[in-house]
Structure 1
Amino acid sequence: MLVSLKWLQDYVDLSGISEKDLAEKITRSGIEVESVEIPGEHIKNVVIGHVLKCEKHPAADKLNKCLVDIGEGEPVQIICGAPNVAAGQKVAVAKPGARLPGGIKIKKAKLRGEESNGMICSLQELGIEGKLVPKEFAEGIFVFPDDAEVGADAITALNLDDCIIELGLTPNRSDCLSMLGVAYEVAAILDRDVKLPHPVYHESTEKASDYIKVTVEAKEDNPFYVAKVVKNVKIGPSPLWMQARLMAAGIRPHNNVVDITNYIMLEYGQPLHAFDYDRLGSKEILVRRAYDGEEIVTLDDVKRTLTTEHLVITNGSKPVALAGVMGGANSEVQQDTTTVLIESAYFNGTTIRKASKDHSLRSEASARYEKGVDPNRVKAAAERAVELLEKYAGAEVLRETVVAGDLEAEPKKITISLSKINRVLGTNLSSQDVVDIFRRLRFTVETSDDLFTVTVPTRRGDITIEEDLIEEVARLYGYDELPKTLPVGAASPGGLTPYQQKRRVVRKFLEGAGLYQAITYSLTSRDMVHQFVLDKTEPVEIAMPMSEERSILRQSLVPHLLEAVSYNVARQNDSIGLYEIGSVFLKQIGQELPQEDEHIAGAITGVWEANEWQGEQKLADFFVLKGILEGLFAKLGLGDAVEWKKAELPDMHPGRTAEIFLNGKRLGFIGQVHPQKQKQLDLKETYVFELKASILLNEQALELQYDSIPRFPSITRDIALVVDKDTEAGKLQQIIWQAGGKLLKEVRIFDLYEGEHLQPGKKSIAFSLKYYDPDKTLTDEEVMNVHEKVLAAVKEKTGAELRS
């Protein structure tokens, strides 16, 4: 809510307090002030000028040479390029030496050989947003009313010297979506009176009921409807002060009738709508639910298809407004309008929100209905509107008001004790202190011993229970004045769980290994949801998705990581490593909500290590990523418990993929993305992994044990085993470990050979085996006995032969 302090001054005396102090007091009382701004604070030397003469520039078709009276003796010549400049206009003139928004300084200049002593300004050049400028001045300069004083300060005339306070309102404080609501709040804070408008106007002898009949079918959606009729309206611009206040509040001026309805909405918090009576096509207003498939063209010239969940205002047959949201184009007030029907109604907020959301049409009116309006201001707002229409549109107000429905809006009464207020707040307030706070809030209160019976006005719909009254007492007494106490009882410092500690270890290790953390969407598409999954389940669909591409909860982190890699590669960042720790969502049979599992995933591509001076490069490959994971497992103390098994998985390269097991549990996978998938994403060789964090981080590592440095020498034996091509090196390594016994301390693969010196279908894998005994020096005979067992085991179980 944008609040003009000059406007607020109409209702509350703000003398003796600065803008910043007022903002501080409002914030400390519970409503956050997000900004305090004076729009024209840095604008200097801009006055109202009178264009005496305007002719085409002799050397430029799009420029005009203007003679302008700026109230300082002789008129001055100003060159202006605005298409709407003309003789007789009152305009904003920035004199030489003037300063405009953006640090622009105006100087005397020559434009195409003609002298220019200043600049005729548009509202945009004075710092007003283009969307707020009246349409007739959107493409040119602003023209003041004829009675504007020449030489007067244009910034003051446009109200740009006003202070605008922006309130960050929570949904419960809808009462402050109006100037009167803010006035009550500020008056309570400052303990000052509130001056309310008292509409006074003249009525004609004709009755409004002879012109219009109102019927409400949907009584739950619209329990109360008020209609006023005015005749002989003269459509024109609204007064400059009103236009300035609307623009300061973020609303674009249109004409006097529409501006008055918007002005009342801001003043009372009660949305109004003006219909062109002659364009209604009947003498009836019927409020009902729309028919399924019924259509209406709204004021923004968009055709909208309605359902039975939407409330419409009709002329008895055709919709003329989407109730509480936007009027229809078929009954819009236009330049030739002479008779106007003013609607002021109380609509059900849920119904209005449904229509607003279905049509993506959130308006100032719908926002107020959604949060709740004061039922006792519905009729008062209509009365205030016709007063202003009579004053600023020459309207003739028809006698009486046409009303449909009966809204029982009695103030709520709440009883609370002084002892409870003091107990909850920890204060020692007296009965008079509390009564005084309720008086400042304009709440009627009756006291009886320790009890207060508080009558809460309907404008404060957020106050319904005792605790709400306690909050009101606390915020006006002053949160800073509440006593401060320390908690009583044993306290222990907070800390991370073992799982959280390990998660931090994983993050630190992966970043230390050269991967950058990524955070991707938890929502994916139907096409991507089953790609790279560890556990495939039925998709979990979002009830109201933002788009088709973000309609399903993901089951793997890899697809979006690959999108991030592809995005970087497309922007010449072609060597990159990313990781993510995030949740996947797996549907459970018989459960409404999905199971949320945390996964760890990563992706690398391009040059992993570049030694430019030596001219060496190391490309990302399977073993780079495997080495990173081996280092991570070792960091977590789980290196000996991990097993790697060759696998063929969807979306992965059939020969460069492995599944990872931890103590027999399937932990995840690692490998190269399938070439077809790489081509689809326009990637070179890219390698990915994904692990289940719940298995990895909940696994207990063995207690760390230290061995003394060997005092006795070790003995190394190298063997080259010829095996079938489909024999896995990991299987051979496992057999060697099992057969080697206590003396075998290290098994390392150091060579793989496949070539012409071997039989077809065979390969040679070379292992280096290290033996030692920590208690003595091994003899060749002891080593040979163990080594022979190793050779016999691999031959028996795999058919391996020593390569000669």
Structure 2
Amino acid sequence: MRVSTNWLKDYMKIDLPINELAEKISRTSVEIEGQSQMQGNMKKVVIAKVLTVEPHPDSDHMVITQVDAGEEEPVQIVTGAPNIAEGQTVILAKHGSVIGNGVKIKKGKLRGVRSNGMLCALQEVGLDDKLAPKELEAGIWVFNEDDAKDLKPGDDAFHALGMDDDILETGITPNRADMLSMNGTAFEVAAMLGVPMTLPKFELHEATQKTNETLQVEVPKELATTYGVRVVKNVAVKDSPLWMQKRLWNMGIRPINNIVDITNYLMLMYGQPLHAFDYDKLPSTNLKVRTAQAGEKLVTLDDVERETSAGDILITADNEPLMFAGVMGGASTRVTDQTQTVVLEAAIFEPTSIRHTARDQNLHSEASQRFERGVDESMTLVALDHAAALMAELAGGDVLAEPVIAQSKTISLPVVSITLEYIRHVLGMEITVTEVGDIFDRLQFAYQEDQGEFKVEIPTRRWDISISADLVEEVARMYGYDNLPTTLPVGEMTPGQLTPAQTLIRASRHTLEGLGLNQAMSYVLTTPKKAKHFQLEAGMPVQLNYPMSQDRQQTRSSLLTGLLDDTAYNIAHNQNDVALYEQGRIFIADSDQTQQPREIEHLAGVISGNWHQRSWADAAEAVDFYALKGIVERLLENYKFKQEIKFVPIDRHVEMHPGRTADIFVGEVYVGMVGQIHPLIAKEYKINETFGFELNLDTIIDLKKLKTQYNEVSRYPEISRDIAVLVNKELDAATLQKTIVQASGRYLEKVELFDVYTGMNVGSDQKSLAYTLTFVDRENTLTDDVVTGAVEAITNTLEETYNAEIR
């Protein structure tokens, strides 16, 4: 929120330079995100009075003026402003001045006539076009007669326009919604400076006619805890006085007219949004607050026709929607120059519904921001009365008596107890009862103290305070964080330790990185189409109600989708050799999405392009299914499962190649899959031939594992034998290898498949598999007779089981 220091000085005396004030607020309260002054580097711009206006002899749209700029002689200015007239008080940029965007003004001739400066519009002296009350095409800025009374020729125009006001941009955190108002900010600044402050006062004079004679209101309590309206008759809609316009544009709000400006001005003052309806444009005098049905039509003040969603809160008359409550008014009842009677509304609406409407309609207004974060309940009807009083003062209106209060919440101030001992313990310092009491006094918190125990009454503006720890924070802030002593924590030291799950996850990362994969971190949110790809578990992706973009609508059901996006990004940037892994959570919801979604830890990886070269002399090898399967096997072997790891060929994953994909089981428990990404899916992602795997880490963590133990390296030599077996083409190598291990006896150390042959001298329904068998005895020297017996046992078993032919 923008904070005007000139406005802040209406509440209290401030002697600090602006830089010191900004630093103090930043250290004590909220962050200062920026500091600015509209005047900037502009100079030599003054107030002037137009004395004469004469036609230009050589132009049909320019005129020659003589203006009083507070100097001995009038200044001649040639201008093409369409609204120039004698007697006006205007803005003059003299010769040698600097105005908006660093433009320098010099003497010159326009169509042969000398001009000694320039008469300016607000935009030309640095006011943003979004904040200027008049369009640039309307001409120069002319002060109205009432404002001109306080100005004289030669006065500094920037001071007259409030453009020399120092503006602080505060970063309001969600817990400090009280500082979304000048009143709340003033309470805070006065407390930190330790100076007294006064709140603005007003006098309200009412007519004899009562409000309920012109208007009836129906408001359900669940939609608005407080709701009040006033009616102001006989208003004259015109420009606001300059003092109000200055405050509005310095706070980032464009002045519109005196009625609308009053509602915005008091919203900035109290933090209480207000709204004004044109009474004569209401479909009926019966206002009703209700929830919307989906699909109702409403044109808002930005002249956009919008459709309501179920749950939006509407202000209606004769069931016709007039505005989105707490978000934005409707165009049909807007206040215009013809408005004579105003209905003024102040309320506290249900914040969840306001947040829903603001997001659904993409209407994040100043009002919705305040309703979402919280409004001071004790000031709602005060702000209503203050606005009515200003409309009587600035618009000449007659305020009808006794506002209609449809809902009014009974306010009881909470009391929080805290002891001096507790404050000392938390802050780690000695602080006295007097010091704590002084801080509560500065914060204007009423309290009672008895032998070091404080019972503190929390004002309604500080709904962020509810427990004793909150009060400790208030004491620490006002005492000064930099004044607190540095102390070491007291307590028993305990060594940190990873859980078994954390240990396994960390070991998995180390293994994959050791095998040449790099870690990636992908977005959790994706498109609805990608969210359904590569699912290991049955269920539905989680749909976001308010997605950030079309590409971030649902939660991922697999890590592979993000890794393929990363692969595509690398390939698009000419990095064709990709080896990535990711460890993270996927999200699965039940079909009706009534239960909390399940979060499941997964581990996935992809490889594409060429595999690593062992040295400069080796040619790079294209990755294939077996390269990735080897990586997965090594990873799974490191887990030391008690049960056997099995790879089962399948074709059920539609996003995977049906002939190059396998499900992975540990015993009978399904833990994941490995294989080639289907060529059609690879084409969608615009990637080359790519292989991927995905594992359910939660399942893997729960499986029983062997204890890691050390096996001494054998001191005796190994003996290797090669065998080649001719078998049916449909028999997979893994099944055959398993049979070899079972038939080998106790000395077989390793089985390695080194050749697969089909073709000449082999039947069309057969294949030849060649293995290297390595035997070792860890206690004695192994003899040829023992190895020969083991090989014979293996070959006999293969012949009997698979009708294999030993070659």
Taking structure 1 as the reference length, what is the TM-score of the superposition? 0.82
1:763 to partner: Cα distance: 1.6
Task: Report the 3-state secondary structure (helix = DSSP H, G, I; strand = E; otherwise coil) of the residue aligned with 1:187.
Answer: helix
Verify: 1:403 aligned to 2:378, yes or no: no
Superposed CA offset, 1:647-690 (max 9, x none): 33322212212233446643322111223333343433121101
Verify: 1:618 aligned to 2:616, yes or no: no
1:263 to partner: Cα distance: 0.8
> For residues 781 and 27 of structure 1, do their structure 2 counterparts lie closer, same or farther at Cα, with a shift above 3 Å needed?
same
> For residues 124 and 604 of structure 1, do their structure 2 counterparts lie closer, same or farther at Cα, with a shift above 3 Å needed?
farther
Task: Report the 3-state secondary structure (helix = DSSP H, G, I; strand = E; otherwise coil) of the residue aligned with 2:322.
Answer: strand
Moved more, 20-29 or 83-92: 83-92
Query: Separation in 2 of the partners of 1:459 and 1:776?
Result: 86
2:21 aligned partner = 22
1:2 aligned partner = 2
Q: Unpaired runs of 5+ in structure 2?
A: none
Query: Separation in 1 of the partners of 2:153 and 2:468?
Result: 58
1:562 aligned partner = 564
* C-alpha contact (below 8 Å) 2:315/2:324 kept by paired residues: yes
Counterpart amino acid of residue 792 in structure 2? E
* C-alpha contact (below 8 Å) 1:324/1:365 kept by paired residues: yes
Counterpart amino acid of residue 335 in structure 1? D
> For residues 673 and 125 of structure 1, do their structure 2 counterparts lie closer, same or farther at Cα, with a shift above 3 Å needed?
farther
Query: Separation in 2 of the partners of 1:790 and 1:76?
Result: 114
Counterpart amino acid of residue 313 in structure 1? I
> For residues 55 and 768 of structure 1, do their structure 2 counterparts lie closer, same or farther at Cα, with a shift above 3 Å needed?
farther
* C-alpha contact (below 8 Å) 1:605/1:685 kept by paired residues: yes
Moved more, 114-123 or 648-657: 114-123
> For residues 772 and 614 of structure 1, do their structure 2 counterparts lie closer, same or farther at Cα, with a shift above 3 Å needed?
closer
Query: Separation in 2 of the partners of 1:681 and 1:640?
Result: 37
Task: Report the 3-state secondary structure (helix = DSSP H, G, I; strand = E; otherwise coil) of the residue aligned with 1:385.
Answer: helix
Moved more, 556-565 or 461-470: 461-470
Query: Separation in 2 of the partners of 1:630 and 1:270?
Result: 65
> For residues 312 and 735 of structure 1, do their structure 2 counterparts lie closer, same or farther at Cα, with a shift above 3 Å needed?
closer
Q: Within 5 Å, which residues of 2 pair with 1:727-766?
A: 727-766=731-770
Task: Report the 3-state secondary structure (helix = DSSP H, G, I; strand = E; otherwise coil) of the residue aligned with 1:361.
Answer: coil
1:497 aligned partner = 499
1:705 aligned partner = 710
1:589 to partner: Cα distance: 11
* C-alpha contact (below 8 Å) 2:749/2:776 kept by paired residues: yes
Counterpart amino acid of residue 199 in structure 1? F
1:759 to partner: Cα distance: 1.8
Superposed CA offset, 1:578-622 (max 9, x none): 322111345589993344321111122234458998794432321
1:678 aligned partner = 682
Counterpart amino acid of residue 771 in structure 2? F
1:2 to partner: Cα distance: 2.2
Counterpart amino acid of residue 322 in structure 1? F
> For residues 442 and 311 of structure 1, do their structure 2 counterparts lie closer, same or farther at Cα, with a shift above 3 Å needed?
same
Superposed CA offset, 1:474-503 (max 9, x none): 443445555665554421132323432332
* C-alpha contact (below 8 Å) 2:322/2:332 kept by paired residues: yes
* C-alpha contact (below 8 Å) 1:48/1:149 kept by paired residues: no
Query: Separation in 1 of the partners of 2:131 and 2:41?
Result: 19
* C-alpha contact (below 8 Å) 1:20/1:36 kept by paired residues: no
Counterpart amino acid of residue 288 in structure 1? V
* Aligned residue among 320, 337, 353 for 1:335: 337
* C-alpha contact (below 8 Å) 2:62/2:79 kept by paired residues: yes
Counterpart amino acid of residue 364 in structure 2? R
1:14 to partner: Cα distance: 1.0
Verify: 1:145 aligned to 2:146, yes or no: no
Superposed CA offset, 1:757-776 (max 9, x none): 32211222222334455666
Aligned length: 787
Q: Within 5 Å, which residues of 2 pair with 1:785-804?
A: 785-803=789-807
Counterpart amino acid of residue 343 in structure 1? E
2:182 aligned partner = 179
> For residues 90 and 607 of structure 1, do their structure 2 counterparts lie closer, same or farther at Cα, with a shift above 3 Å needed?
farther
* C-alpha contact (below 8 Å) 1:176/1:182 kept by paired residues: yes
Query: Separation in 1 of the partners of 2:273 and 2:477?
Result: 29
Superposed CA offset, 1:710-736 (max 9, x none): 564x54433332222112222233333
1:112 to partner: Cα distance: 14
* Aligned residue among 601, 606, 619 for 1:603: 606
* C-alpha contact (below 8 Å) 2:230/2:400 kept by paired residues: no
* C-alpha contact (below 8 Å) 1:36/1:163 kept by paired residues: no
Counterpart amino acid of residue 290 in structure 2? R
* C-alpha contact (below 8 Å) 1:91/1:141 kept by paired residues: no
Moved more, 508-517 or 588-597: 588-597
Q: Within 5 Å, which residues of 2 pair with 1:167-566?
A: 167-200=170-203, 207=209, 209=211, 212-219=214-221, 221=224, 223-236=226-239, 238-280=240-282, 284-290=285-291, 292=293, 295-306=297-308, 309-315=311-317, 318-349=320-351, 352-353=354-355, 355-357=357-359, 359-390=361-392, 392=394, 394-398=395-399, 400-405=401-406, 407=408, 409-410=410-411, 412=413, 414=415, 416=417, 418=419, 422=423, 425=426, 429-446=431-448, 454-463=456-465, 468-469=470-471, 471-479=473-481, 486-523=488-525, 527-535=529-537, 537-539=538-540, 541-542=542-543, 544=545, 546=547, 553-566=555-568
1:187 to partner: Cα distance: 1.3
Counterpart amino acid of residue 660 in structure 2? R
1:783 to partner: Cα distance: 3.9
* C-alpha contact (below 8 Å) 1:45/1:95 kept by paired residues: no
> For residues 154 and 691 of structure 1, do their structure 2 counterparts lie closer, same or farther at Cα, with a shift above 3 Å needed?
farther
Moved more, 621-630 or 692-701: 692-701
> For residues 762 and 497 of structure 1, do their structure 2 counterparts lie closer, same or farther at Cα, with a shift above 3 Å needed?
same
> For residues 85 and 607 of structure 1, do their structure 2 counterparts lie closer, same or farther at Cα, with a shift above 3 Å needed?
farther
Query: Separation in 2 of the partners of 1:732 and 1:53?
Result: 109
Superposed CA offset, 1:242-289 (max 9, x none): 33432333323323321221011101222221222332355x352332
1:464 to partner: Cα distance: 5.2
Taking structure 2 as the reference length, what is the TM-score of the superposition? 0.82
1:165 aligned partner = 168
> For residues 732 and 559 of structure 1, do their structure 2 counterparts lie closer, same or farther at Cα, with a shift above 3 Å needed?
same
Q: Unpaired runs of 5+ in structure 1?
A: none
Moved more, 184-193 or 148-157: 148-157
Moved more, 617-626 or 66-75: 66-75
> For residues 502 and 157 of structure 1, do their structure 2 counterparts lie closer, same or farther at Cα, with a shift above 3 Å needed?
farther
Query: Separation in 2 of the partners of 1:769 and 1:603?
Result: 31
> For residues 581 and 755 of structure 1, do their structure 2 counterparts lie closer, same or farther at Cα, with a shift above 3 Å needed?
same
Query: Separation in 2 of the partners of 1:117 and 1:795?
Result: 112
Counterpart amino acid of residue 5 in structure 1? T
Counterpart amino acid of residue 796 in structure 1? E
Task: Report the 3-state secondary structure (helix = DSSP H, G, I; strand = E; otherwise coil) of the residue aligned with 2:135.
Answer: helix
Superposed CA offset, 1:48-89 (max 9, x none): 58798999999xxxx999999896989799999xx9998989
* C-alpha contact (below 8 Å) 2:120/2:141 kept by paired residues: no
> For residues 68 and 285 of structure 1, do their structure 2 counterparts lie closer, same or farther at Cα, with a shift above 3 Å needed?
farther
Provide the aligned C-alpha RMSD in A.
4.7
Counterpart amino acid of residue 396 in structure 1? G
Counterpart amino acid of residue 333 in structure 2? S
* C-alpha contact (below 8 Å) 1:235/1:336 kept by paired residues: no
1:33 to partner: Cα distance: 1.7
* C-alpha contact (below 8 Å) 1:40/1:126 kept by paired residues: no
